[in-house]
């Protein structure tokens, strides 16, 4: 049967009391975090050494609210260079213990250090010689005593006024886990490119992994004309390829210049230009901004922003045009 929902004793909202309550919670949890700093000592270093030497994966486990925190810690570790996953301790005793292998390391979370579901599986873990790192709020607990390394995340008080709901204790455990993850990240020399590889669908992944070659138009999709082409021919090529410009190339497709919408507007505003008889080479922009196919797509975006242009030609080492892209291609790829 579901527990009855507690009813508010009063519908009157005391704004001052609400603000005081929230600020007290923040102050209490901030104090719990500050208390962790002097506990980052030799034990913390030993925990990092064990994880860095691990040939398998870091298996995180915890029950209840500690389990929720453990899932987040495992996710943070996995995305920052430490292979990790979460195992529910209750499920572990019913088959999931087979997921933990001798080459792994176990990171167990429990504020009391006396969580039955975790203590029940510890003998099996220890018999396999699997190193155990425990994060608890009680250095004298059973889990702390069985751990190869104990990290003290104890608090003086929960933020809950009843002293019951895990609040400051879960915050302290989470911060200790974050401290582990970032210390390991730096020890491994983990880079933003490494981070992007584990987040290929995220904005950072797109910025650091997507190359010009992934988004550029190629082959017949690249607007190109000869320098002898007429203005009409240039406009027809621009219209067909929908990039707002066309490359002007020699017979080997080496870049001579670019003709853009801006060049057209300038020509229309110049009374000295004979639009009927002008060749595109007379109106094109020489020495346009270009980019290589091996560059990152974000570099194209930065180049466009810097020079206030909306399209780029892609060239190889011999200055042959091999592709083209515009700002809309970058927007579709969600690079910008």
Number of residues assigned to the chain: 336
Beta pairing class for 255-260 and 224-225: unpaired
Cα–Cα distance measured from residue 308 to residue 101, given in angstroms and rounded to the nearest whole number: 56
Backbone angles phi, psi at 282, to 5 degrees: -80, -20
Tell me the three state secondary structure of residue 55: coil
Cα–Cα distance measured from residue 117 to residue 100, given in angstroms and rounded to the nearest whole number: 16
In order, the DSSP letters of 119-130 are: HHHHHHHHHTT-
Tell me the three state secondary structure of residue 314: strand
Angle between helices 15-34 and 168-188 (to 10 degrees): 40
For 59, other C-beta atoms within 10 Å of its C-beta total: 26
CB 63 within 8 A of CB 89: yes
Cα–Cα distance measured from residue 62 to residue 334, given in angstroms and rounded to the nearest whole number: 38
Cα–Cα distance measured from residue 125 to residue 106, given in angstroms and rounded to the nearest whole number: 8
Per the annotation, does 310 bind a ligand? no
| Binding site per annotation, positions | 88
| Binding site per annotation, positions for Zn(2+) | 88
């Amino acid at each position: 049967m579901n527990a009855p929902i507690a009813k508010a004793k009063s519908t009157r909202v005391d704004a001052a009391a609400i603000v005081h309550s929230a600020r007290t919670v923040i102050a209490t949890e901030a104090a719990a975090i500050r208390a962790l700093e002097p506990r980052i000592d030799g034990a913390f270093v030993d925990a990092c050494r064990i994880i860095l030497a691990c040939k398998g994966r870091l298996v995180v486990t915890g029950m209840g609210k500690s389990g929720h925190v453990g899932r987040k810690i495992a996710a943070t570790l996995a995305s920052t260079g430490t292979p990790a996953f979460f195992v529910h301790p209750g499920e572990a005793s019913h088959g999931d213990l087979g997921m933990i292998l001798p080459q792994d390391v176990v990171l167990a979370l429990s504020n009391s250090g006396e969580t039955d579901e975790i203590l029940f599986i510890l003998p099996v873990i220890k018999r396999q010689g699997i190193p155990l790192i425990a994060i608890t709020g009680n250095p004298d607990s059973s889990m702390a005593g069985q751990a190869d390394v104990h990290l003290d995340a104890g608090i003086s008080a929960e933020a809950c006024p009843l002293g019951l709901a895990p609040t400051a204790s879960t915050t302290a455990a989470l911060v200790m886990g974050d401290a582990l993850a970032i210390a390991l990240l730096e020890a491994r020399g983990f880079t933003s490119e490494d981070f992007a590889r584990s987040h290929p669908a995220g904005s950072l992944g797109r910025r650091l992994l997507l190359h010009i070659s992934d988004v550029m138009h190629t082959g017949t999709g690249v607007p190109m004309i000869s320098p002898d082409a007429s203005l009409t021919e240039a406009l027809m090529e621009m219209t067909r390829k929908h990039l707002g410009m066309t490359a002007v190339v020699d017979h080997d497709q080496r870049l001579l210049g670019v003709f853009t919408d801006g060049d057209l507007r300038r020509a229309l505003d110049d009374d000295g230009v004979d639009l009927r008889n002008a060749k595109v080479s007379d109106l094109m922009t020489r020495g346009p901004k270009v980019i290589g196919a091996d560059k990152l797509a974000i570099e194209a975006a930065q180049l466009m922003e810097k020079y206030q242009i909306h399209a780029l030609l892609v060239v190889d080492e011999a200055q042959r045009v091999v592709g083209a892209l515009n700002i809309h291609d970058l927007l579709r790829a969600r690079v910008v």
